[in-house]
């Protein structure tokens, strides 16, 4: 597998910490508890390891800003997602609909893997640096991660990252609604993850204040993949599911979609 074709011991160590704390702490307490969590998971997780040729993307048309029809999502996916309840980084419950622009404006919503993933610290760093550009374009930037609010605050404090943009989804409700990928294969062995090695310096820089304490207590959460979405009000205009760990889209591309929509 390409993901295992690492050249240096330091690369191996960084990959281990970036994909999961699985190497330093047990993923689950017992085989029976892990099995039951998989059995009770929604069908989207059970199907998440089926191979596809490229990342599934919903693209907005440059001329109209209207999304092409996509089989992955129903037309009312924004309404369905809006009813999901998650938490602010400070611990207050909030409906997902409140995260989206309330005046039919544009929102860029990035779902991280989990707060203890080094690749997500790298992505959060890129989001923080890009935020002034999103603000200037009139786009609301939202980041959601897997874990409890106290884990979100660890990332926000140590990275740092603006807490007003950060939300916690400990039960992965939004991830399930959006059908984001989940599983061992996606997390450790997907070929899309090889792009991690092209961003080695960025990941190392983002990990300077990293701590494994940001990892969710529910160790099965580290197998969750993320995604990036653009909404106009509650209407989905762009969506991309991460194929594997570290498989993030270009923020320039995401901002471009947002700007086309705003225009």
Given this model, what pLDDT does residue 140 score? 97
DSSP H/E element including 237: strand 235-241
Does 3 reside within a domain? Answer: no
User: Structurally, how many domains does the chain consist of?
Assistant: 1
DSSP H/E element including 36: helix 31-39
Does 47 reside within a domain? Answer: no
Does 141 reside within a domain? Answer: yes
Here the CATH number for the domain that contains residue 213 is 3.40.30.10
Q: What percent of the chain has pLDDT over 70?
A: 73
Find tokens 């929102």 and name the residue. Answer: 107
Instruction: Please indicate whether residue 2 or residue 218 has the higher confidence score (pLDDT).
Output: 218
Average pLDDT, the chain: 80
Cis peptide before 181 (omega within 30 of 0): no
Provide the domain limits for residue 242: 76-251
Whether the per-residue pLDDT at 52 is higher than 70: the answer is no
Sheet with 227-232, edge to edge strand ranges: 57-58, 235-241, 227-232, 106-114, 139-146, 166-168, 85-88, 93-95
Cα 92 to Cα 79: distance, rounded to the nearest angstrom: 21
- pTM more than 0.85: no
Closest CA to 96 of 152, 177, 150, 156: 177
Does 90 reside within a domain? Answer: yes
DSSP H/E element including 166: strand 166-168
pLDDT tens, position by position, 2-36: 333 333 444 444 444 444 444 444 443 333 333 33
DSSP H/E element including 18: helix 9-19
Given this model, what pLDDT does residue 78 score? 95
Does 17 reside within a domain? Answer: no
Does 205 reside within a domain? Answer: yes
Whether the per-residue pLDDT at 149 is higher than 90: the answer is yes
DSSP 117-136: -HHHHHHHHHHHHHHHHHHH
Does 21 reside within a domain? Answer: no
CB count within 10 Å of CB 183 equals: 20
């Amino acid at each position: 597998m390409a993901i295992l074709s690492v050249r240096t011991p330091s690369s191996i160590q960084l990959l281990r910490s970036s994909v999961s704390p699985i190497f330093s702490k047990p993923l689950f307490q017992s085989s029976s508890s892990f099995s039951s969590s998989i059995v009770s998971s929604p069908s989207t997780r059970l199907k998440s390891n089926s191979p596809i040729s490229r990342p599934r993307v919903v693209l907005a048309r440059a001329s109209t800003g209207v999304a092409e029809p996509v089989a992955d999502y129903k037309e009312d996916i924004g309404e369905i997602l809006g009813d999901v309840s998650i938490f602010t980084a400070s611990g207050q419950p909030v409906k997902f609909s409140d995260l989206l622009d309330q005046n039919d404006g544009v929102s860029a919503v990035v779902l991280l893997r989990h707060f203890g993933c080094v690749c997500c610290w790298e992505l959060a760093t890129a989001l923080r640096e890009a935020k002034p550009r999103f603000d200037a374009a009139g786009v609301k930037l939202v980041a959601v991660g897997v874990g409890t609010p106290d884990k979100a605050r660890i990332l926000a404090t140590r990275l740092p990252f603006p807490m007003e943009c950060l939300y916690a989804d400990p039960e992965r409700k939004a991830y399930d609604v959006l059908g984001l990928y989940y599983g061992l294969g996606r997390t450790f062995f997907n070929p899309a993850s090889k792009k991690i090695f092209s961003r080695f310096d960025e990941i190392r820089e983002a990990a300077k204040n990293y701590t494994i304490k940001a990892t969710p207590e529910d160790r099965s959460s580290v197998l969750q993949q993320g995604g990036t979405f653009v909404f106009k009000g509650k209407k989905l205009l762009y969506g991309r599911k991460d194929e594997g760990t570290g498989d993030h889209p270009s923020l320039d591309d995401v901002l471009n979609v947002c700007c086309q929509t705003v225009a």
